[in-house]
A and B are shown apart, each in its own frame.
Chain A
Amino acid sequence: MSDNVYVVGASMIPMGKYPDASYAGLATPPLIEALAGAGVAKEDVGAVFCGTSFGGMMTAQRITKAVGIGNVPTINVDNACSGGATAVHLAWQAIAEGRVDVAVVIGVDKLTQFGGGTLPLVPEDREVHQGVVMPAVYAMRAQRYLYETDATVEDFARVSVKSRAHGALNPLAQMRTPTSIEQVLASRSIADPFTLFMCCPTGDGAAVVVMVSEAYYRRTGGPAIRVRASVLHSGMVDEGTERSLIRPTISEHSARDAYAMAGLGPEDLDTIELHDAFASAEIMYYETFGLAPWGEGFRLLRDGSTTFGGSVVVNPSGGLLSKGHPVGASGVAQVAEMFWQLTDTAGARQVEKARIGMTHVTGGGLSGLDHGACTMHIFEGV
């Protein structure tokens, strides 16, 4: 198992609030466009993988029947926020193992069905039973980060400012108005040290990518990116006092494996789409991915290393902070962004000469785990 796998088509709807669209209504338009863009006939599709957390039964089949895709293995995947990227990983696996030549990956979720508020979690979990919500989980990590490092709350605001500057260039993002450190800090408090602008908006979204084998790609050609690494990890329980909540171990281990699989290191990356559900997380992931020493990640924001013109452009799409975070859709949307970035079709937000890009999305808030899931990919433009 090591055959090359390519992404040859991508599409997504602008993330937003679409209460009048069903899951099929959200995902069918990008499915049509991704297939057409890739030049792939529906008869060629050998498998479908769909990441969703709140779609209910048969989400994928409700979508694919609209275009008459059937009679193929079709798998609905839940891994919380990492579900979409997990579906990408499964498609990569199916193709790399030679079981199919063409796989369609759908990521979709509709959070407007809950009428607002924080992401619903599973109340069977002890900490969720106690009333914890994702902003509180991340805010506690952020508070500890401020305690242990020289970072300030303004550094968290800088993440939001950068995100909005990028989002302003992306017609697919929800938050497209640039903001300032002062405005971020003046927005209402959610869970200290977080203000509203340091938290990703919810919303609805759907993204689709088409992935193919080396043999299929050779026959068809066209714009493509090659999968250099595809890694999926689950969280390891640790409820002891030795564990550092500002060193996200599941992401650390996933990054180590992704770099090893790709034969690349952090210095090789031109762009990254990472899981910035809350502003502080982005800074900790700089450290986790080896872009900065532990406790020093905030310096990359102060010196502009991670925006356009810097050494590695992080979240050129605006990330979750500007796009919003419709759980299952986000991981596929990140891969779609890499397809555009690495095929030089990202428009106003194009990272100059981008050749190597990495995606990262974790999933889940469960007591005793850093996160329940982490999926990472490294891609190369071809």
Chain B
Amino acid sequence: MTVLTRGETGPAPFNDMLSLDLRAEGADGPYLRGTRCARCGQLHAGERIVCSTCVSTDVEPCALASRGSVYTYTILGVGPTAPFTFAYVDLDDGVRILAHLVTVDTPIIGMPVRVEFDETGWIFTEATTEGEHA
């Protein structure tokens, strides 16, 4: 739970290293965890204790949209996991998120994608059928 907590002597640290993995499972399938600001409504990727837009600490966990489209991508040809496709995915709720993209063919900017979980964590893959769930 992401709330700003206080110890007896002052603010307590936010153990954000524990929430680097954004995976969560809901009634409608897998989703990525985000944070919504209760004051200004701004959505953020991941767990937050404060809204970077309005600085309110009245923030609450929420599910990010599980669908979006590819804003841009690259196929990284170097490193231990090469070839590895990164993309910035524009989620339907207005959040842009870096993602590991797994597609059958070469990615296309603008292609619809949805989140899925696999043994590596979370990935985005082609969303072929409207309303389809993983």
Q: Is B76 close to A, CB under 8 A? A: yes
Chain A 152-194 interface 0/1 with B at a Cβ cutoff of 8 Å (1 = within)? 0000000000000000000000000000000000001111111
Given the interface pairs A131-B84, A140-B86, the reply to whether A240 lies near B79 with Cβ below 8 Å is no
Are B86 and A241 within 8 A (Cβ)? no
B16 to chain A, nearest CB (A): 8
Return the contact of B96 from the options A130, A194, A240 (Cβ within 8 A). Answer: A240
Q: Is B117 close to A, CB under 8 A? A: no
- Least CB separation from A125: chain B residue: B20
Are A240 and B95 within 8 A (Cβ)? yes
Q: How many residues of A contact B (CB 8 A)?
A: 35
Q: How many residues of B contact A (CB 8 A)?
A: 29
Q: Which residues of B contact A237 (CB under 8 A)?
A: 52
- Least CB separation from B92: chain A residue: A241
User: Which of B7-15, B66-74, B125-133 contacts its partner?
Assistant: B66-74
Q: Is A20 close to B, CB under 8 A? A: no
B-contacting residues, A247-262, CB 8 Å = none
Return the contact of B76 from the options A126, A136, A193 (Cβ within 8 A). Answer: A136
Are A191 and B76 within 8 A (Cβ)? yes
Q: Is A367 close to B, CB under 8 A? A: yes
Are B74 and A136 within 8 A (Cβ)? yes
B-contacting residues, A82-136, CB 8 Å = 117-118, 124, 126-127, 129-133, 135-136
Return the contact of B74 from the options A124, A131, A140, A243 (Cβ within 8 A). Answer: A140
Q: Which residues of A contact B17 (CB under 8 A)?
A: 124
B73 to chain A, nearest CB (A): 6
Identify the interface centre among A127, A129, A147, A239: most chain B CB within 10 Å of its CB. A239
Q: Given the complex of chains A and B, what is the CA–CA distance between A192 and B72 in angstroms?
A: 11
Are A191 and B75 within 8 A (Cβ)? yes
Q: Which residues of B contact A239 (CB under 8 A)?
A: 44-45, 95-97
Q: Is A22 close to B, CB under 8 A? A: no
Q: Is A144 close to B, CB under 8 A? A: yes
A-contacting residues, B86-107, CB 8 Å = 86-88, 90-91, 94-98, 100
Given the interface pairs A143-B109, A240-B94, A241-B95, the reply to whether A133 lies near B79 with Cβ below 8 Å is yes
Q: Given the complex of chains A and B, what is the CA–CA distance between A367 and B78 in angstroms?
A: 21
B124 to chain A, nearest CB (A): 12
Are B71 and A132 within 8 A (Cβ)? no
Q: Is B5 close to A, CB under 8 A? A: no
Given the interface pairs A140-B87, A239-B44, A241-B71, the reply to whether A127 lies near B78 with Cβ below 8 Å is no
Q: Given the complex of chains A and B, what is the CA–CA distance between A133 and B81 in angstroms?
A: 12
Q: Is A141 close to B, CB under 8 A? A: yes
Q: Is B61 close to A, CB under 8 A? A: no
Q: Given the complex of chains A and B, what is the CA–CA distance between A191 and B73 in angstroms?
A: 10
- Least CB separation from B83: chain A residue: A189
Are A241 and B94 within 8 A (Cβ)? yes
Are B72 and A367 within 8 A (Cβ)? no
A-contacting residues, B38-62, CB 8 Å = 44-46, 52
Chain A 316-353 interface 0/1 with B at a Cβ cutoff of 8 Å (1 = within)? 00000000000000000000000000000000000000
Q: Is B26 close to A, CB under 8 A? A: no
Q: Given the complex of chains A and B, what is the CA–CA distance between A56 and B74 in angstroms?
A: 33
Given the interface pairs A118-B78, A190-B78, the reply to whether A143 lies near B72 with Cβ below 8 Å is yes
Q: Given the complex of chains A and B, what is the CA–CA distance between A101 and B91 in angstroms?
A: 54
Q: Given the complex of chains A and B, what is the CA–CA distance between A268 and B64 in angstroms?
A: 48
Are A126 and B45 within 8 A (Cβ)? yes
Q: Which residues of A contact B20 (CB under 8 A)?
A: 126, 129
Given the interface pairs A140-B88, A143-B109, A188-B77, the reply to whether A126 lies near B46 with Cβ below 8 Å is yes
Q: Which residues of B contact A373 (CB under 8 A)?
A: none
Q: Given the complex of chains A and B, what is the CA–CA distance between A368 and B75 in angstroms?
A: 21
Having A139-B74, A241-B71, one finds 14 other A-B pairs with CB under 8 Å, namely: A126-B46, A127-B98, A132-B86, A140-B86, A144-B71, A189-B75, A191-B75, A192-B74, A239-B45, A240-B94, A240-B95, A241-B91, A242-B94, A367-B98
User: Which B positions have Cβ atoms within 8 angstroms of A?
Assistant: 17, 20, 44-46, 52, 71-79, 81, 84, 86-88, 90-91, 94-98, 100, 109
A-B contact pairs, 25 of them (CB 8 A): A117-B78, A126-B98, A130-B100, A131-B79, A131-B81, A131-B86, A133-B79, A135-B76, A136-B76, A140-B74, A144-B72, A144-B109, A147-B109, A190-B77, A191-B74, A191-B78, A192-B75, A194-B74, A237-B52, A240-B94, A240-B95, A240-B96, A242-B94, A367-B98, A368-B52
User: Which A positions have Cβ atoms within 8 angstroms of B?
Assistant: 117-118, 124, 126-127, 129-133, 135-136, 139-144, 147, 188-194, 237, 239-243, 245, 367-368
